[in-house]
């Protein structure tokens, strides 16, 4: 189906002043995106705590009324590995913490081009290990850890789960992935259909990948393209949520299919008529509010289940 009416109007507004991606540097885009950040909704009533997560800056979000250890989502932000951070996703993390009734630790991993692959991957694992070892000191239930993220952050979450499986933990209950990038080596049908004018343009993606993965051979590394991981068995259950009109749609679906084929429980849902990045537009785009409600419900269920 085509874009729904609200999504179409949003994209028309975004596309009214197109950016010549060939003429700007990643740092310039980083500054531009920082100028568009929106604060969290005060009604979510979230208390924050900044921490050093194994050498990686992070921020803990907890509901103001929370008492006792809470299950926790370790969250990795999107931004093409070159932009965004804790502040850009504070609104989303605060809403997820409220709706899912859990704590969230948002990770400020290093960005390219100053820090190329695998810096972000290593930061993700360092933060996960810190959470497993020290989260209890901050009111976090380290027996109930999930990992998640949007776009590039979704990819980092998958890789953190894989490396945790392979490199000694900690144990993870669930993966919550919003339109993750999982394969940087080929072109999918969704990339052909939605590579221009649907928020995540191909020229922007090329700029991000050139900055983060200056060695083209690294794009086939499983830590950059987790879909190419030889063995996906034994990973935590996953919720994978994609957007129909998104170049990354087919990568998310393919990852869901591979997880299922490897015996990993997966809930996959593709939201019709919306575009990449839509989840952050809750309060303006009803589909985003629906997606957050779905994600919160999946997290609550995962945290409530008794591990096998």
| DSSP β-bridge partners for residue 176 | 148, 239
Extract the tokens encoding 204.
């922007």
Q: Does 201 participate in catalysis according to the annotation? A: no
Among residues 108, 201, 246, 270, the one annotated as catalytic is: 246
Please state whether the peptide bond connecting residue 15 to the residue before it is cis, i.e. omega within 30 degrees of 0. no
Among residues 151, 155, 164, 205, the one annotated as catalytic is: 151
Question: Nearest-CA neighbor of 268 among 223, 298, 296, 300?
Answer: 298
Among residues 89, 138, 174, 276, the one annotated as catalytic is: 276
Give the DSSP letter of residue 86. Answer: T
Please, is 66 exposed, middle or buried when counting C-beta atoms within 10 Å of its C-beta (0-12, 13-18, 19+)? middle
Question: Nearest-CA neighbor of 131 among 181, 184, 71, 84?
Answer: 71
Please, is 236 exposed, middle or buried when counting C-beta atoms within 10 Å of its C-beta (0-12, 13-18, 19+)? buried
Which value, to the nearest 10 degrees, does the dihedral of the CA atoms of residues 173, 115, 30, 158 take?
-20
Question: Nearest-CA neighbor of 237 among 165, 167, 288, 292?
Answer: 165
Place of tokens 């239930």: 141
Q: Does 151 participate in catalysis according to the annotation? A: yes
Q: Does 202 participate in catalysis according to the annotation? A: no
- Mode of pairing for the β-strands spanning 174-178 and 103-107: unpaired
- Mode of pairing for the β-strands spanning 57-63 and 103-107: antiparallel
Catalogue the active-site residues: 151, 246, 276
């Amino acid at each position: 189906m085509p874009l729904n009416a609200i999504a179409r109007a949003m994209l028309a507004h975004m596309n009214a002043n197109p950016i010549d991606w060939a003429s700007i540097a990643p740092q310039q885009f980083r500054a531009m995106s920082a100028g568009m950040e929106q604060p969290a909704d005060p009604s979510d009533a979230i208390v924050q705590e900044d921490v050093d997560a194994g050498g990686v800056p992070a921020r803990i979000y907890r509901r103001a009324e929370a008492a006792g250890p809470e299950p926790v989502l370790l969250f990795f932000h999107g931004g093409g590995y070159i932009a965004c951070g804790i502040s850009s996703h504070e609104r989303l993390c605060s809403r997820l913490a409220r709706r899912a009734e859990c704590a969230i630790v948002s990770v400020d991993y290093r960005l390219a081009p100053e820090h190329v692959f695998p810096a972000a991957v290593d930061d993700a694992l360092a933060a996960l290990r810190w959470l497993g070892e020290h989260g209890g000191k901050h009111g976090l239930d380290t027996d109930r850890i999930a990992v998640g993220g949007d776009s590039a952050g979704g990819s980092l979450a998958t890789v953190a789960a894989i490396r945790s499986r392979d490199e000694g933990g900690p144990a993870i209950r669930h993966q919550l992935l919003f339109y993750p990038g999982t394969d940087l080596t080929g072109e999918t049908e969704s990339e052909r259909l939605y590579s221009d004018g649907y928020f995540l343009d191909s020229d922007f993606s090329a700029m991000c990948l050139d900055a983060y993965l200056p060695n083209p051979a690294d794009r086939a590394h499983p830590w950059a393209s987790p879909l190419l991981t030889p063995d996906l068995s034994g990973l935590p259950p996953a919720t994978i949520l994609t957007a129909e009109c998104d170049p990354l749609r087919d990568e998310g679906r393919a990852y869901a299919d591979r997880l299922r084929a490897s015996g990993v429980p997966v809930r996959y849902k593709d939201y019709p008529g919306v575009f990449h990045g839509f989840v952050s537009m809750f309060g303006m785009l009803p589909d985003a509010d629906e997606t957050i409600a779905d994600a919160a419900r999946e997290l609550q269920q995962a945290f409530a289940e008794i591990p096998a």
